[in-house]
Amino acid sequence: MSVSRLDPKKWTKDGRKWNFHVRYKDLDGKTKQYQSKLFKTKPEAQEAERIFLLELDKYRPDNNMTFRDLYLAFYNYQEDKVKETTLHTYKDRMRYMALLDNIKVKEFNLQHYEMWRKKILEYPLSNRTRNYIYKFLKTIMNFGTKWYGLNFNQIYPKMTNFTNPNEIKKEMEFWTYEEFSKFISVEEDLTFKCLFKTLYFCGLRKGEARALNWNDIDFTNGTIRINKGLSDNVNGKKYIITSPKTLTSNRTLPIPKELLNDLKQLKEKVIEFTNYNDNWFVFGNAVPLGDDTIRRRKNNNCKEANVKEIRIHDFRHSCASLLINNGADITLVAKFLGHSKIDETLNTYSHMFKNKLNNIIGLIDNLNENAKSDIVIDSTKNNDDYEMSL
């Protein structure tokens, strides 16, 4: 086993010059050699070599891998299978796994888990975030069971979610149509006006709106196509464009007339630039508007319009509220928002259906009242018929 730097003549154009060589025995006992791809730095090659050896070790019953070995093997396995944003999330949650770094996985027990759990409770995190981290730990353990034959049967059933009965759940914020009208009335910049209207009336996620290009707007049919998302600061990149959050997030929505007219005016302005093309971002031209820029603009408008301050994501909640309270069918609301299941829409916005439930009871009460009236009428009619017969 060795890590070495190649002759400069064999370096790649982007500066990759390190690799490793490994001699090993396969499952049949035959000796084989493996030469890796090239890496930019020696530490990268050394880490890749270590992961490679872990993969060879997966079938050995005397496996002495540590938790750090396990979660790095998991990350390496997922690298070519999930989106870059998902890998970024994994990397962020791996720092909480570091509390278990030196523990041999085959010796992992309930005391280790309780120690880890107490440490996680010391971080200033919401229970929701803690449970995302807890779920990630279970995912790594499942990976270890599947690929390394590790047995967690003694501990797995005793692991539980983080709960806090005293935690006050933050209520969902949203604007009424009147509040949004006050907010948008103080916005004079056409780009921001179109952005905020798109978020409010079309219910787009922030990343979906920021990723929109002009070729996603069909002015002839008055529709907007959502087929990608934008994320900031992923693996050292300023931003990346990814596929939508879910398969059903791919959707085409009708654009309200007022917003469509604003978008037409905005495009008439931007096409005057000599380097314009339809791949430009609708909200930002050659590069998308920055997340902080949007947030600051929104907060300033809230103060000027004297409306409560809500998050950018709450524009999406406001759209859902607008649709639900104006009688939109729940199936269409789910499709409009790009939810994969109606259950997701119901679970997220169930509180908004309280008035609808009262309306249903009102319908039943009306039916009962009408039924009673019919009985009285029929009873009177029978008495009249009896008197006439006499």
Give me the residue spans of the domains in the chain: 1-57, 60-166, 177-340, 353-390
Q: Is the fold of 60-166 the same as that of 177-340?
A: no
pLDDT in tens, 351-383: 665 555 555 555 566 666 776 666 555 555 555
91-107 mean pLDDT: 93
The residues, ordered by sequence, that sit 6+ positions from 65 with a Cβ below 8 Å of its Cβ are 54, 57, 73, 104, 105, 106, 148
pLDDT in tens, 217-236: 999 999 999 999 999 888 77
Q: pTM of the entire structure?
A: 0.68
Is CATH 3.40.80.10 the right assignment for the domain spanning 177-340?
no
321-337 mean pLDDT: 86
Q: What pLDDT, on a 0 to 100 scale, did the predictor assign at position 58? A: 57
pLDDT at 310 over 90: yes
Q: What pLDDT, on a 0 to 100 scale, did the predictor assign at position 389? A: 44
pLDDT at 327 over 60: yes
pLDDT at 326 over 70: yes
Which CATH architecture best describes the domain 60-166? Answer: Orthogonal Bundle (1.10)
Lowest mean pLDDT among 46-50, 118-122, 177-181: 46-50
Q: What is the percentage of the chain residues whose pLDDT exceeds 90?
A: 51
Q: What pLDDT, on a 0 to 100 scale, did the predictor assign at position 384? A: 52
